[in-house]
Amino acid sequence: MIQQLKTTYRQQNINGYLKYRSDWNESVAQRVAERDGLILTEKHWDVIHFLRTEYYANNGTVPLETKIIQAMAKEWKTHLSYADMNTLFPGGANVQGAKIAGCVTIKSVGDLLDIKGDDVWSVKPDQLLIDAIQLLTEKNIGALMVVERSTLVGVVSERDLTRQIVLGEKSLETTQVKEIMSTNVVSVSSEDSLDSCMSLMTEYKFRHLPVVDESRLIGVLSMPDLVKVIVEQQQFTITQLQEKTHCA
């Protein structure tokens, strides 16, 4: 009965916030939790799913921890004490739990990497162009980071490689990546805002931005990554305003 109640309550907002944050799924939650050193249990998932539905129901705000405990007891008949909640989420249910649940507005590069993942595909400077083309094709990506001894030394893009193929000036089988890569690489940090990244990419016509923290390459942002998040957040804001107007 209680499980049915939880399922019904969860479905009430399926076309709202859950649809808005389409990139969120349980695998994303697991990844974010692991970074915080948490192993998610059934109780964690109860709080996570509750937070997701409450986030939309409360016009895009995360309830205070006291409200979470009270509402879960009332709506789901799930009784958790403050001690229980602190054990589940040492960083706070409305902070750490909300981040794992995907209820934190994506503002920084780090927030976006938490959602999209931080996979980085790279080649070495002395690898051949044909190797780079094969990797780009295999991973269906538009650029490769060029890394030497764990340090970012350049970027080679699909556009760079296409130019070589069209012009035919260099052999793909004998030319090394370092001969055509871009070395004046502009990077951002995980703390930079998405707005500043968008401005940077627009002004300089970049399509990819490496993310570097303390001289270590930790991720890559693409223009589609940024556009998707910004558009989704704007759509969510518009939906909330429309609902407020309708209820007024």
Give the tens place of pLDDT for each residue, 114-130. Answer: 877 778 999 999 999 99
- Give CA angle at 169 (164, 173), nearest 5°: 70
CA distance 122 to 120: 6
Q: Under DSSP, is residue 210 helix (H, G, I), strand (E, B) or coil?
A: strand
Q: pLDDT tens digits, residue range 22-51?
A: 467 788 888 889 888 999 999 999 999 888
From residue 183, alpha-carbon distances to 144, 152, 169, 179 in Å are: 13, 9, 20, 10
Higher pLDDT, 233 or 210: 210
Domain ranges (residues) in the chain: 2-104, 115-227
Mean pLDDT, to the nearest integer, of 10-23? 44
- Residue 178 DSSP one-character state: G
Within its chain, how far is the Cα of 128 from the centroid?
Answer: 31
Among candidate residues 87, 92, 90, 108, the one with its CA nearest the CA of residue 197: 108
* DSSP type of residue 64: P
Average pLDDT over residues 197-212: 93
Residues 130, 116: Cα–Cα separation, whole Å: 28
> Which amino acid is located at 158 in the chain?
E
Note the Cα 81 to chain centre separation in Å: 31
CATH 3.40.50.300 fits 115-227, yes or no: no
pTM as predicted? 0.69
pLDDT above 80 for 71: yes
Decide the pairing of beta strands 122-123 and 143-148: parallel
Backbone angles phi, psi at 47, to 5 degrees: -65, -40
Give the mean model confidence (pLDDT) for residues 140-156: 94
When pLDDT is cut at 50, 70 and 90, the band that residue 20 belongs to is very low
- Compare 241 and 211 and report the one with higher pLDDT: 211
